[in-house]
A and B are shown apart, each in its own frame.
Chain A
Amino acid sequence: MAARGHVQDPNDRRLRPIYDYLDNGNNKMAIQQADKLLKKHKDLHCAKVLKAIGLQRTGKQDEAFALAQEVATLEPTDDNSLQALTILYREMHRPELVTKLYEAAVRKVPSSEEYHSHLFMAYARVGEYKKMQQAGMTLYKIVPKNPYYFWSVMSLVMQAISAQDKKLSQTMFLPLAERMVEKMVKEEKIEAEAEVQLYYMILERLGKYVEALEVVRGQLGEKLTSELQSRENKCMSLYKQLERWPECNALSCKLLLKNPDDWQFYMSYFDSLFHLIDQGWEPPSEGEHCSEGEVRSSVAQAIAFVEERLAVEEAKETRPLRGPFLARLELIRRLRARGCPEEQELGEPLELMFQYFIKFGDKPCCISDLKIYLDLLTTDHHFINRLMETVPLSEPQDDGVALPGDTRALQRHLCVAQLSRALGLHHALDTTGKLDLIRQLKSHYRHGLQFGKSCLKTELQFSDMYCLLASHVYIDLWAETGDETMLWQCLGLLEEGLSHSSSNAQFKLLLILLFCRMGAFEPVVDLYSSLDAKHVQHDTIGFLLTRYAESLGQFAAASQSCNFSLRFFHSNQKDTSEYIIQAYKYGAFEKIPEFIAFRSRLNRSLHFAQVRTERMLLDLFLEADLSSSLEDNVKSMGLCPEEDDIPWTDMRDNRDLTVLTSWDPADRQLSEEQRSFSLQEELLWLKVRFLTLRLVGTLAVLSHPPTPRNAEKAAENGVVAKPDILRPLLDQLNTTLQNGAQFLERGVQYPFLGPSPTRLAHALASGSCHCQVLAFQLAAYVQELDAAALEETTEVQTQISNSFKSLLIQLKEILNKCKGDLLEVKEGQCKTQPTLLENLVFFVETVCVVHWVSCFCAGVLRPLKASLQKRKKKKKEPISMVVFSGFQEFTAGLQSLFSEVLDHIKGQETSLTALKLGELTLEEVMPAGVRIVGFKKTQLLRISLESDVLT
């Protein structure tokens, strides 16, 4: 709560209890206390604001706002009121009002450093860069402190960064910022490291690299001390920008001599080397090579340099550094790519990698080091055999498997197994070979557990990765043969692994994926929650949950997981703004654009748009019954169907698609192309869903006069609310579905451990998309009927009647695609049919859409029928209206369809229960089998029942 400073002030004493109540979350008492106080002291404005905070926190936003405005219009200048209002406005997500508040305050107290600085921060919160620039300067004039001056400079930089017109940035904002700093430099007023950092930032953005270099290398650069190697890193980046390869070369070597393990400098050394060779650079005949010292610019020198580093490591008593050894492989690769024969002077890659393994094979990272260079090998088998010969293993056991005697030997053996996989040797085996491999890996896994007996629950077992490897081979077998037994075995193995190593995230992730692919969502909830994924992880791995929860019929879980993610995204806006302000305070200027980019990355997250859309759709699906009105639903979720507020062209895919460990060969790893295909597919599906949502929302707008909010909007835009939003949206939906079908024709496949395909393919195959289109089409016809005089509507009436009939037929067709056993048990083997469940969910979703459309139809038809009956009575004319009879037939048809669905679901439940009872016999074949039976059907049942009440 607000700072309460001066205890002497009697008002502070009076307000204290209200602050305390608010701090303790006792909002009711806070309001009461404030009322009591206001009776005695009418003019104690702060009490009013505190009351408003209490009201805001108890959900009475409108009252709170009105009360706050009462005080705000008085333009208060007391600390308590100002701070309380700031808090209130922030909680109301109206930070722009804080700027108004302090603008008034500084007008009244123009010399207040405090209020001016609050005003600056208020502008910073809403990103009013120009006003920040002025506020900073005003502050500096009142109190000539350097930070204020540089706040103003930074605000110029922000104007440059945010300017649409990049030319304006380069010719106006940045040069102005530069001149402002130069002025301080000339007057020798530069004090802090942050100021030099900012100067560097400005010059870099202006492309004035030479000047930037002078600053960094000069006297001002001496201030750059907080960050380690700050000057060196900045110089290096400037040399690269300036293509000063000699300096880049010399500095890299210098830094490598200091730390022969810093990988980035090997890269910059090799880069510079080949640039210099291509330029035909020659060292000057006398004097220094360049300002950074000696340049090593020939291949021979590079080889010598690397060999020297190696010699130093080899001569060490202690274990050598890995850097030089990998640098040698890197240099070979680069030389080979250029066709340089000198490559051979460094040695044969197979031999070198062999030696690397000898030195570092007992480190878990050996695989990730070597896998980068596997393409240098020509004979994979020979390599693996040679490595294997060096691993100390026991004599083969009864099962023919030779085992390691300690953890180091285990790690070496494991590394060989990982390398074999990375070389594609696992994939090359036939079915028998793969099964034998699995047998060996399992044997190693179980044997290795003895080394980790003393491991804590929070630690991994030494042999865990064998278990994961074997699981991957099971998945290979399944993918190759389609034999689902392999997946069941895999589930069993992973569950076994988890029982010995309960915090192994990789086991959990793979189990989640397998269960989802097999159609069993229930175990996934616990597995996912045991990962304890929080905050930003909602954005990066939340898709694991949200992709399948809904499609497998777990509507409540789906809704909940969307909520978790949404809460994270919604807090982002407020949170980041606060830290942008902090960055100004602490002079972390380079972090300000970074924070802003971060905020935008989250706001433009694909997952954000997805959970927002799905959450609203779920609400509409879950509320699909006669007792709730569509209009209320649409209003309460704040959906504005006329608006497309998804940043389609600039969406950020923040999913961590490599979170599952994979040792697959490079050509089987997720490629950049597959990544972009996956994003494309996600966007197509999102568009389908978003349009569906907006179409349903439109029905609410059409069946009722525009809400005040819409009217206001329409008035703002100077146009009358257009009723014809249904057709354009329907056209868009049709186009998107066509694009979706075209995308699917490409037959894009993703690695199993990579992204899952979206629901698009199944949605199209189930027929639900087209059924929903038909439903919306029907709504459009009914709207037409509503607009025309009844007598002139024969044609549209026929269309409506036909639509009713087709809808029933199509729904029936979808239902037929749901029939069959979810879990077939034949001759002791299990086969899951997740598609049946997914189709059932599509059916339910479609029924919900049809429900809303039917409500809309009923809403239009009912008054029509009433007016018709009146006319009938008067004129006694027999007008036969096909729509009415059509609608009646339609609802009757829906009724019987629903009883069929319910029977179907009951049937499924019976057979699943039967399986559950038989779990004792199943258990031995597949320990995980029991869990898969947990399909939750009640949700489906509920929706179907609710929709059943339609007529």
Chain B
Amino acid sequence: MRVPLPFLHECTVKMTTLRAFTCDDLFKFNNINLDPLTETYGIPFYLQYLAHWPEYFIVAEAPGGELMGYIMGKAEGSVAREEWHGHVTALSVAPEFRRLGLAAKLMELLEEISERKGGFFVDLFVRVSNQVAVNMYKQLGYSVYRTVIEYYSASNGEPDEDAYDMRKALSRDTEKKSIIPLPHPVRPEDIE
């Protein structure tokens, strides 16, 4: 989960059209994706999300027609083990539309969809170094559930980076069991 420069403001000033992300948006999202922390995935990755969880892929459009930002997520996990949850795969906002609380709004939508699906919690991965994003998620009610060692592999000879797996309990998890932090960090191969 990568969030480039999100700024949560004291309140929301979005003013946008929120709608389902479609394939045609892939041709228009450069202003969002030409950002060092936003990954442009291969077509299969996007199509997989659009085919499987279309309701979890939402884009925000400005009155002038520019794309402002988008969120991409999924629902997964076993219901029986109370691990059925919403997951944030990507969240990104174009520089011009930051500091408007848009990321918070998109997160709110993802949480609402996950509530409807009967999820126990919502989770996401974030670079340990991305303090801005970590703080934003904390403000939104997320807490660090565990640290995943060397989750982000670096390319240019720099060391691999750890990730925080952050969670927020949904109403179905009345006792908030899903967010009790693990005492020890885990390795990427230990997470499903």
**A: which residues have CB within 8 A of B?**
225-228, 233, 261-264, 318-323, 326, 360, 363-365, 368-369, 371-372, 456-460, 503, 505, 509, 531-537, 539-541, 571-572, 575-576, 578-579, 582-583, 585-586, 588, 590-591, 594-595, 597-598, 601, 654, 656, 659
Given contacts A364-B97, A460-B95, contact A319 B50 (CB under 8 A): no
Q: Which residues of B contact A509 (CB under 8 A)?
A: 34
- In the complex, residue of chain A having the shortest beta-carbon distance to the beta carbon of B155: A532
Q: Which residues of B contact A539 (CB under 8 A)?
A: 27
Whether the Cβ atoms of A263 and B34 lie closer than 8 Å is no
Whether the Cβ atoms of B18 and A262 lie closer than 8 Å is yes
Whether the Cβ atoms of B66 and A368 lie closer than 8 Å is yes
- Asked if B86 CB lies within 8 Å of chain A CBs, one says no
Q: Which residues of A contact B13 (CB under 8 A)?
A: 319-322, 360, 363
- Asked if B149 CB lies within 8 Å of chain A CBs, one says no
Q: Which residues of A contact B140 (CB under 8 A)?
A: none
- 18 contacts across the A-B interface (CB closer than 8 A): A226-B113, A226-B116, A228-B55, A261-B16, A263-B16, A263-B61, A318-B11, A321-B13, A322-B15, A368-B96, A532-B36, A536-B26, A537-B30, A541-B30, A572-B43, A579-B44, A594-B22, A659-B34
Smallest beta-carbon distance B20→chain A, Å = 7
Whether the Cβ atoms of A659 and B33 lie closer than 8 Å is no
Whether the Cβ atoms of B96 and A536 lie closer than 8 Å is no
Q: Which residues of A contact B100 (CB under 8 A)?
A: 363, 365
- Asked if B5 CB lies within 8 Å of chain A CBs, one says yes
Given contacts A226-B55, A368-B96, contact A460 B5 (CB under 8 A): yes
Q: Which residues of B contact A503 (CB under 8 A)?
A: 35-36
Alpha-carbon distance between A586 and B27 when the two chains are bound, in angstroms:
25
Whether the Cβ atoms of B116 and A595 lie closer than 8 Å is no
Alpha-carbon distance between A326 and B63 when the two chains are bound, in angstroms:
9
Whether the Cβ atoms of A364 and B95 lie closer than 8 Å is yes
Whether the Cβ atoms of A459 and B26 lie closer than 8 Å is no
Q: Which residues of B contact A261 (CB under 8 A)?
A: 12, 14-16
Q: Per-residue 0/1 for B1-30: is the Cβ within 8 Å of any A Cβ (1 yes, 0 no)?
A: 000110001111111111110111011101
Q: Which residues of A contact B95 (CB under 8 A)?
A: 364, 460
- Asked if B78 CB lies within 8 Å of chain A CBs, one says no
Whether the Cβ atoms of B63 and A588 lie closer than 8 Å is no
Q: Which residues of B contact A227 (CB under 8 A)?
A: 20, 54-55
Whether the Cβ atoms of B44 and A578 lie closer than 8 Å is yes
Smallest beta-carbon distance A328→chain B, Å = 12
- In the complex, residue of chain A having the shortest beta-carbon distance to the beta carbon of B17: A264
Alpha-carbon distance between A746 and B116 when the two chains are bound, in angstroms:
59
Alpha-carbon distance between A578 and B113 when the two chains are bound, in angstroms:
26
Whether the Cβ atoms of B22 and A586 lie closer than 8 Å is no
Smallest beta-carbon distance A325→chain B, Å = 9
- Asked if B109 CB lies within 8 Å of chain A CBs, one says yes
Q: Which residues of B contact A579 (CB under 8 A)?
A: 44, 47-48, 50-51
Whether the Cβ atoms of A321 and B55 lie closer than 8 Å is no
In-complex Cβ contact of B36 among A225, A363, A458 (8 A): A458
- In the complex, residue of chain B having the shortest beta-carbon distance to the beta carbon of A581: B51
How many B residues face the partner with a CB closer than 8 A?
58
Whether the Cβ atoms of A263 and B63 lie closer than 8 Å is yes
Alpha-carbon distance between A601 and B11 when the two chains are bound, in angstroms:
40
Given contacts A263-B63, A323-B15, contact A656 B113 (CB under 8 A): no
Whether the Cβ atoms of A363 and B99 lie closer than 8 Å is yes
Q: Which residues of B contact A263 (CB under 8 A)?
A: 15-17, 61, 63
Whether the Cβ atoms of B47 and A364 lie closer than 8 Å is no
Alpha-carbon distance between A369 and B64 when the two chains are bound, in angstroms:
8
- In the complex, residue of chain A having the shortest beta-carbon distance to the beta carbon of B26: A536
Whether the Cβ atoms of B5 and A459 lie closer than 8 Å is yes
Q: Which residues of A contact B30 (CB under 8 A)?
A: 537, 540-541, 656, 659
Q: A225-B116, A263-B16, A591-B51 are in contact. List 9 more A-B contacts (CB 8 A).
A: A263-B15, A319-B13, A532-B40, A536-B26, A579-B44, A595-B23, A601-B23, A601-B24, A659-B31
Q: Which residues of B contact A226 (CB under 8 A)?
A: 54-55, 113, 116-117
In-complex Cβ contact of A535 among B15, B24, B41 (8 A): B41
Q: Which residues of A contact B129 (CB under 8 A)?
A: 456
Smallest beta-carbon distance B53→chain A, Å = 8
Alpha-carbon distance between A226 and B24 when the two chains are bound, in angstroms:
22
Smallest beta-carbon distance B22→chain A, Å = 6
Q: Which residues of A contact B31 (CB under 8 A)?
A: 659
Alpha-carbon distance between A843 and B184 when the two chains are bound, in angstroms:
68
Alpha-carbon distance between A168 and B54 when the two chains are bound, in angstroms:
31
Whether the Cβ atoms of A365 and B44 lie closer than 8 Å is no
Q: Per-residue 0/1 for B72-98: is the Cβ within 8 Å of any A Cβ (1 yes, 0 no)?
A: 000000000000000000000001111
- Asked if B62 CB lies within 8 Å of chain A CBs, one says yes
Q: Which residues of B contact A371 (CB under 8 A)?
A: 64
Whether the Cβ atoms of A364 and B99 lie closer than 8 Å is yes
Q: Which residues of A contact B33 (CB under 8 A)?
A: 537
Q: Which residues of B contact A457 (CB under 8 A)?
A: 36
Alpha-carbon distance between A138 and B142 when the two chains are bound, in angstroms:
49
Alpha-carbon distance between A364 and B9 when the two chains are bound, in angstroms:
13
- Asked if B180 CB lies within 8 Å of chain A CBs, one says no
Whether the Cβ atoms of B113 and A228 lie closer than 8 Å is yes
Smallest beta-carbon distance B171→chain A, Å = 16
Given contacts A225-B116, A262-B18, contact A656 B54 (CB under 8 A): no
Question: Which 7 residue pairs of A and B lie closest in terms of their CB atoms, listed nearest first?
Answer: A579-B47, A598-B23, A505-B34, A322-B15, A582-B51, A318-B11, A226-B55
Alpha-carbon distance between A323 and B62 when the two chains are bound, in angstroms:
11
Alpha-carbon distance between A317 and B189 when the two chains are bound, in angstroms:
49
Alpha-carbon distance between A671 and B124 when the two chains are bound, in angstroms:
42
Whether the Cβ atoms of B43 and A458 lie closer than 8 Å is no
Q: Which residues of A contact B42 (CB under 8 A)?
A: 534-535, 571, 575
Alpha-carbon distance between A457 and B37 when the two chains are bound, in angstroms:
10
Whether the Cβ atoms of B97 and A365 lie closer than 8 Å is yes
In-complex Cβ contact of A326 among B15, B36, B113, B116 (8 A): B15
Whether the Cβ atoms of A364 and B96 lie closer than 8 Å is yes
Alpha-carbon distance between A503 and B35 when the two chains are bound, in angstroms:
7
Please indicate which of the listed interface residues B12, B22, B26 has the most CB atoms of chain A within 10 Å of its own CB: B26
Smallest beta-carbon distance A730→chain B, Å = 37
Alpha-carbon distance between A365 and B101 when the two chains are bound, in angstroms:
12
Q: Which residues of B contact A588 (CB under 8 A)?
A: 50-52, 54
In-complex Cβ contact of A365 among B11, B62, B109, B117 (8 A): B62
Alpha-carbon distance between A264 and B63 when the two chains are bound, in angstroms:
8
Alpha-carbon distance between A127 and B19 when the two chains are bound, in angstroms:
29
Alpha-carbon distance between A598 and B44 when the two chains are bound, in angstroms:
12
Alpha-carbon distance between A371 and B97 when the two chains are bound, in angstroms:
15
Q: Which residues of A contact B28 (CB under 8 A)?
A: 656
Given contacts A225-B116, A540-B27, contact A318 B10 (CB under 8 A): yes
Q: Which residues of A contact B54 (CB under 8 A)?
A: 226-227, 588, 590-591
- Asked if B161 CB lies within 8 Å of chain A CBs, one says no
Alpha-carbon distance between A369 and B15 when the two chains are bound, in angstroms:
10
Alpha-carbon distance between A119 and B34 when the two chains are bound, in angstroms:
41
